[in-house]
Structure 1
Amino acid sequence: MSNRILVAPYSSPVGILLIGTFDDHLVLCDWKYRKQRDQIDHRLTQYFNASLEYKKTRFHQTIFQQLEDYFNKGLKKFTIPILLAGTNFQKDVWNTLLDLEYGEVISYGALSRKRNQQKAIRAVAAANGANALSIIVPCHRVVGADGSLTGYAGGLKAKRYLIDLERKNSDTGQMKLFI
């Protein structure tokens, strides 16, 4: 068992992502310049009782290739093994996000209803914002009740880009919106 989260930067078309691995699992795929960078890193190091070390490995290359395929070839499902670091509630929200279809966009309210927690919209939104696996756990697919773009760690420009990319590469070329 390693006591290090190995981190390497990945340059996406919309910003730099930090890719972190721990014991051959992806634990970090997050925007380098996000507002909560320190909190996310602290949560990961505490959760895994590990330190962050900048070191690129072969596993990083595998992850980079899947991200390249997502951005350039319409990869719809990542096959990278992941570990989620958070509370049980957060993990439940993130697992619900993993169940969303490629190109599917959902509101915070619909996401709460999908989890049978209609009154937990703010808690679901907070869990969404605490996601350390951007793109892989597709928190960019969550929008406001009126379909508008709402906060995203990579910025609204990146969120729009990802939603448009998935719409363009979806089987129908259309976005599925669940409000």
Structure 2
Amino acid sequence: MDNRIGPDGEALPDTVVISEWESPCGKMIIGSIGEYICLCDWVESKRRDFNDRRIMGRLGVRYSGGMTRTIRRAIDELEEYFAGERKSFDVPLLMVGTDLQKQIWSALCEIPYGETRTYKEISEAVGHSGRGRGCAGQVASNPISILVPCHRVIGSNGSLTGYAGGLDAKQYLLDLEARYR
């Protein structure tokens, strides 16, 4: 289990507050712990249970429905993003995963708005060259969709590959970014 200590050394509560939000391309569940977003997942994602178990297990927390200032801030930033008014996010994130997962998810945050990278390029960026397939599994386990832009990762042949929100949502997000780039 990870300690419930935030990135700045502060103690975190024992509850992740969760709230559903309807995005233009699907319903999402957003979770905050303290001042951090730790979950922004698609309600219909096949990996939802896995992501929930990982967050609850590693942090030793429970989920409780509600709304927080942090969730409200994330929703406001997401609404600005979908309106083409925001190209990056400022809401603080708490990535809950293995060291490798957190490295890969951090690398995703470095992909500029409106651009894409391949799994191989992400793998190389974190020092795991030649492990594109293994990287794909770590990208797929990202529990903070859109805010950690895993939708910007594509196959080596330029094709869209799996996405927790579905390929239609992935295409929607890439088209949105291309339009407002």
Contact 1:108–1:124 (8 Å) recurs in 2: yes
Mapped partners of 1:49, 1:152: distance in 2: 27
Gaps of 5+ in 1: 171-179
Deviations 1:57-85 (A, max 9, x none): 23221111100000013311100001000
* Match in the other structure for 1:30: 41
> For residues 78 and 13 of structure 1, what CA distance do their matches in structure 2 show?
18
Q: Distance in 2 between matches of 1:37 and 1:59?
A: 21
1:168 aligns with 2:179: yes
Distance 2:47 2:98 in 1: 17
Equivalent-residue separation in structure 2 for 1:116 and 1:2 (angstroms): 34
1:1-179 aligned at under 5 Å gives the runs 1-170=12-181
How far, CA to CA, are the matches of 1:136 and 1:74 in structure 2? Answer: 15
Q: CA RMSD, aligned part only?
A: 1.0
Counting matched residue pairs gives 170
Identity %: 38
Q: Is the 8 A contact 2:32 2:68 kept in 1?
A: no
Amino acid at match of 2:127: N
Partner of 1:174: none
Runs ≥4 residues deviating over 6 A: none
Letter in 1 for 2:114: G
Deviation at 1:135, TM superposition (A): 0.2
The one-letter code matched in structure 2 to 1:12 is: S
Post-superposition shift, 1:119? 2.2
Q: CA deviation at 1:36?
A: 1.1
**How many angstroms apart in 1 are the aligned matches of 2:127 and 2:18?**
36
Q: What letter matches 1:152 in structure 2? A: Y
Q: Give the Cα–Cα distance (whole angstroms) in 2 for the partners of residues 6 and 130 of structure 1.
A: 20
TM-score by length of 2: 0.91
Equivalent residue, structure 2, for 1:177: none
TM-score, length of structure 1 as denominator length: 0.92
In structure 2, runs of 5+ residues without a counterpart are: 1-11
